[in-house]
Amino acid sequence: MPAATTSSVPFVVEWTGETRSPAALVMTPQGIAYANPGVDVASRVDDVLWEVRVGTRTGRPRHAVLHPARLRDVMQELRCAGCKGLPDRTADGVPWVLPLLADEAPGGGWEGVLTSIPPMCQDCASAATTLCPWLSDGYVKLRVRQAEHVGVRGNLYRRPGESETSPELVLTDVDTLVRYDSPDLPFVVAREPVRELRECTVIELVDPHTVSWSARTLDIIRLLVQGIPHYRVADMLDIGRWTMEHDIILICQQLGIDSRKYLRYMPVVVAAIRRRVVHLPPLTPVRLRERLVKVLVLMAAGYTNRQIAGALGLTENAVKNGVKEILRALDARSRLHAVARGWQCGILDLDSLWLPTSASAPAPAGQVRA
């Protein structure tokens, strides 16, 4: 196997020829500092002390470890983590590729996620999904409009005087997040910058344990939640209606949903909302009568009017009138659109957006490494 070259390895990756500087740390009244004044000055950026690396990009790449200085420079300018170039920016923002780590965030969701992983250009993103160990257990491709610097991750030391019995220099937390407005900031040695991602649009979501959302499927879902009829969606995406139907049926099967038993588009849209793979900004709250809320919840479960009538002890005609009232109140074009807007208006939540299936619904996609 040929040896790796620096041009074939992501720019932010650390190499075995690069090691942590042996420069000693000291505690001062102002915070942590390097004992060597020259090293201390060189390692400070915007009053934050950073870990120092010595050596060169030689040996073998350590793909799971990022070089603090190169990572900081790339994140500062929102350059590609792979080639250091400027990633393309569209109306939906800058591309990001992030791993799925659901165990770290039971609430899930991508809006407001904290990450120390830089954006990527399209070419590097495609290569990273097969080479990066962080992405081997699933990943999400996003477009992000806003990515605010919020803090750093690193080693946090105890402040002077917090313990009379401990030595003056005491490490209290390893790899912890410290925000820029925190009083702990002078006492952290930073290793990774952290940005908060906002206005996220999911382009692709690949989860080997549940459902892989292709770019085409996500386009279908985005149009459906906007209330566009399914027969027009196929025309707008220039795909055959059978192709769209086939995509939806496959996803229903992956979700454990019998697509013949329920309105087949509804469970897919609900799953997308639950996992927040589509960006749905909040809307002005709307109040519905209790009975209409129950109808809307069953609509979200994919029930037909007849099934809703049976579940609530109503006549089918009463349910039809209730659905019409819901559509008017939410300014919705269809049942799918009403469910999406019900979520946006705060009427539906994760507890009410359940799926009628023998298997439990998949857990929401988790936060990323932050």
Q: Which residue has the higher pLDDT, 142 or 161?
A: 142
What domain range includes position 163? 6-200
Alpha-carbon distance of 62 to 14, in angstroms, equals 6
Least trusted range by pLDDT, from 123-132, 208-217, 347-356: 347-356
> Which of 200, 223, 258 is the last residue before a domain boundary?
200
Query: Total domain count for the chain?
Result: 2
Q: Which residue has the higher pLDDT, 77 or 122?
A: 77
Q: Are 19 and 131 within one domain?
A: yes
Residue type, 355: L
Q: What one-character-per-residue DSSP string does 133-196 give? A: GGGTT-EEEEEEEEEEEEEEEEEEEPPTTS-SSS-SS-EEEEEEEEETTSTTGGGEEEEEEEEE
Residue 83 confidence class, pLDDT cut points 50, 70, 90: very high
β-pair partners for 200 = 144
| Residue 355 predicted with pLDDT over 50 | no
Residue 41 confidence class, pLDDT cut points 50, 70, 90: very high
Q: Are 59 and 183 within one domain?
A: yes
Instruction: Say what the pLDDT of residue 203 is.
Output: 83
The answer to whether position 349 is within a domain reads no
Largest CA distance in the chain: 81
The answer to whether position 360 is within a domain reads no
| Residue 196 predicted with pLDDT over 70 | yes
Does the predicted TM-score (pTM) go above 0.85?
Answer: no
Axis crossing angle, helix 316-330 with helix 290-300, rounded to the nearest 10: 90
Q: What is the pLDDT of residues 168-179, one digit of tens each?
A: 678 888 889 999
Q: What is the pLDDT of residues 206-247, one digit of tens each?
A: 776 666 677 788 888 888 888 888 788 888 988 887 888 887
Are residues 75 and 214 in contact, defined by beta-carbon separation less than 8 angstroms? Answer: no
Q: What is the pLDDT of residues 295-330, one digit of tens each?
A: 998 888 778 899 899 989 999 999 999 999 999 999
Strand, coil or helix: 233: helix
Q: Are 80 and 168 within one domain?
A: yes
Name residues whose C-beta falls within 8 Å of residue 286's C-beta, 6 or more positions apart in sequence: 329, 330, 345, 347
| Residue 44 predicted with pLDDT over 90 | yes
Q: Are 163 and 74 within one domain?
A: yes
